[in-house]
Structure 1
Amino acid sequence: MTHILNIKDLYKNFGKETILKNINLSLEKNTVLSLLGSSGSGKTTLLKIIAGLESEDKGELLLNGKNLANKKPQQRNIVYLYQEALLFPHLNAFENIAFGLRLKKVDSKVIMEKVNHMLEHLDMARHAEKMPNQLSGGQRQRISFGRAMVIEPELLLLDEPFGALDAITRGKMQELFKDLAHKMHISALFVTHDLKEAIVMGDQIGKIQKGQLLQYATKKEFYKDEFSGVQKEIDFWKQINNN
């Protein structure tokens, strides 16, 4: 199996507080790994280190076998998606998606083809000329995804990207992302505090707690772990059904 990302013995401290301790992680190509953890567990810090927005105190990060040490964020070919869409307010939906391609000075005909293709994937073609303030929260998040994926990053980092959406829109975005991940052969880390979302979104699952990471070999292994929370969730719904 080919790994796109390998992290070895990573540590991060803020002052005297240890945020991440002895992190070891491997991600296969074309795979989505869900990272499950509560607030303050260190999961966002880990994503920021991978993206180059924070620096590790110790450890090794390899992307496609190349060391990321001392590489600036813009040199890593990694895209970090936040909970907020963060679209450019002065650009319409089409131009928001096209932004990264224009920075790379891609030929205008190729940009037109790629962006229109992406808009079709996102079911947003009819909204191409709309400005961000004319779009719903879910639509803005779709455009944010399009902008990230159209440049074909080696790795996508998603930090609770659906956390601000209502339950129905969140479900639709989960389905959309899984479909795009399959079609576009995406490699991604998907951070969430929601157990169900972690199971739905990830091909594999890792759990980060108090700065330490446990990566499960299979989902079945995760389900069998008495500390994963899965059995507790099952028991809860059984109790609801019995009442």
Structure 2
Amino acid sequence: MPASNATFVGEVCGTTVVYKPIAGERPLWDFPDGTLAARERAAYLVSEALGWDVVPLTFLRDGPHGPGMVQVWQEPDDAEDAVTVVRDLRERPGWLHVFDGVDDRDHEVALVHEDSAALRRMAVFDAAINNADRKGGHVLPMAGGHRYGVDHGVSFHTDPKLRTVLWGWAGSPLDADELGGLHVLAEALDEDLADALAPLLTAFEIEATRRRVARLLRVGALPIPRGDWPAIPWPPF
């Protein structure tokens, strides 16, 4: 599969999976080497604690190229869309505008995303895990309206690094469902979830996650872009 890290598609017990070996992880300046697979597993555990099914089943497993991350393959629905680029905002009435730009032919375009509960939950999840790479292609629109998020290897940093294309709700109040999920997550981070994350993240990263969740609950709103850090991953798809 095309990716910045070595990424393979295979089968485990007849189930199609994505396999990313640790040996194929590209070194990054701001994340420790060899930790991306563990962060992907950690993101799945947080998704499960929230109860929102944002991340497909993800686990660590030895494979043909050594230990790595294995995730159950999800086939998106070609008829569905969640994040896209349009030339005219009237093409997607009711969608949320994120930013304007020009395409490879110098046509003015805008990046927009749908205004759905499933995608909002993903935005809240990203804020909790400090996701530094929510590109449009990392959102899988499934049949029936469900939205999966994938590629969470650059998450859980102790420094604020949220980069996402899902800024359409920036600053908007969290709803009761979102607040409820975050309360459950906060409790889990003080109990069994912290133990499950301990082999995957540092103690400082787990504590930073607690602080982010506590801040989301205290502020009661989705975050807004920071002026000292790029808000959009590049390229955005």
Same-fold status (TM-score > 0.5)? no
Give the structure with the larger strand fraction: 1
Higher-Rg member (1/2)? 1
TM, length-normalised to structure 1: 0.28
Give the structure with the larger helix fraction: 1
